Structure 1
């Protein structure tokens, strides 16, 4: 098996992750629900995981990190927790449905939604296929859209389809100038690329634990800047303030109701320690080297169409492509059945990005790399694609 679907979920993880989950299942009780040893062990593990994440993202402290099941839950909490009818919100065509569908829901409730597209879609000189296939965000249009009175800007840090990295530092500066909240979806970048909430002017950062952070599925979270209030999506048991009729308003409990996935968070903690041990940029550089190696080989295949801006020095380790008019699902199935190479085809939950690229009907075959992949695996995948 050659697993090249890491943008969907990390399959290869540090061995310490599984070990930590197994140990947690056998030793940990319910966090914040008791003062006996197994409950306290759980509470310490959860706190340490918050602290590691706050440090990784340069947040405002562990109390500003709340846990969820995944990015989808995080984004629903963040988007629905800051927007009200009549508010204006700006987003982009690069977004995953985890951003788009909550925003469409809020639009139906009276929120003014503005979606900024990509360059090359409708340029003045006519439609440029080369520019269109880059799927590059139109920064000029985005800057113009972030007007005073805009409540929030919601955008991804990297496209899950093209791998294009978004300049969140520049966008964060525009948000500060306009007085808009800046919400970032770090699903494709957390754990791989540097994210500094203070430097990048990020107010709310949403992430999942099972992709670049290499933790278990069912883990994710939100980092909230101090002074920003997010209405909770859920209310219920919290372990504190039992006799209050309302859910606690203090962070992190404000956005957490019910029992946390402490066993999964123990695995996430182990993954975070592994990432810290690797050092800044090591994982990113390894992934990008593998991605470039693959891109250089497949770009010479007759009839291949590769999507994304590969002039970017830094980008997510993703190569999305099509072979002529071949159905992306057929190509992906061939790779899996004939060569044991696992990729993802279709729409990738990114409908506006596919519309921008002109691949709504065909979809695309996405290859996404982990630093645990090898150069030999990359070469075999390129050879298999050539043999189709």
Structure 2
């Protein structure tokens, strides 16, 4: 009898036993409670349905009001938000799953309508992004940002630490730092968005400084093996670029390895786009990092099986397929057909296109009734 592919076998992540090596990637769905940005009963059901993933990484959760760039994304900066998330983590754990929270500051990818006191979004440098943000008016262009003052940066680090403390209170199994897709930390990493002339700009070491300060602050609250980080070396998401990404990310990953992080979660290629948009040696990152390597972006079942079998990745993250397939792990295991996703219901709304996608078991039950 042929052994089951490694993709479906258990994995030890920093002492945490995962049922399989399939990760549910963070997915912004904009359904937190209006006014409080706390997780709610609808979100509890959504995550519970998907708890068969080896690991769930929650949708990105802002570390402060200033860190928000989209309407009704959940927060991780008030005790009310922590209590909302606790309902989610309890449900996932009761269903046998594991869940990390993704902590997020969007930086310049925001709008004055979402900022405290209608202020300008913040960024490493005052360069407006060619992107879209989600407000009460729907999707609109981001507002002109202002450059963070040097004196404000310790406050950003403190906000990450506070969010990490609340994540512990909320019962998460660990924390993923969002360092990808053109949000604040990625804006500091890349020279297309970071034109600073102080300790946080210029050299690779300086541009990675904020991310490493955030990692060090969170490592005082969580064991380092329960901390992961998401990176996107060459993704143009949210109008971001770097003139020479290989040495930048080689350096950053070596620094993360020295801090013994649990994993790096790497978007290979363009987010939701081509995997070969720019040349980049992901194997070099894999080799430089002793923790787990989670590969992400456009993986089919066969690609994911091969990546884990060959050692190119320890785990593989799936994003959009989890939206329309709450039982994605079982569908991949069987090679079953996937439900198509309704793009119109991705952002905002209620249960439609969120918690009402059928599972294989539900389909079988329906067939047996006829």
TM-score (norm 2): 0.29
- Greater relative contact order (Cα < 8 A, sep 6+): 1
TM-score (norm 1): 0.28
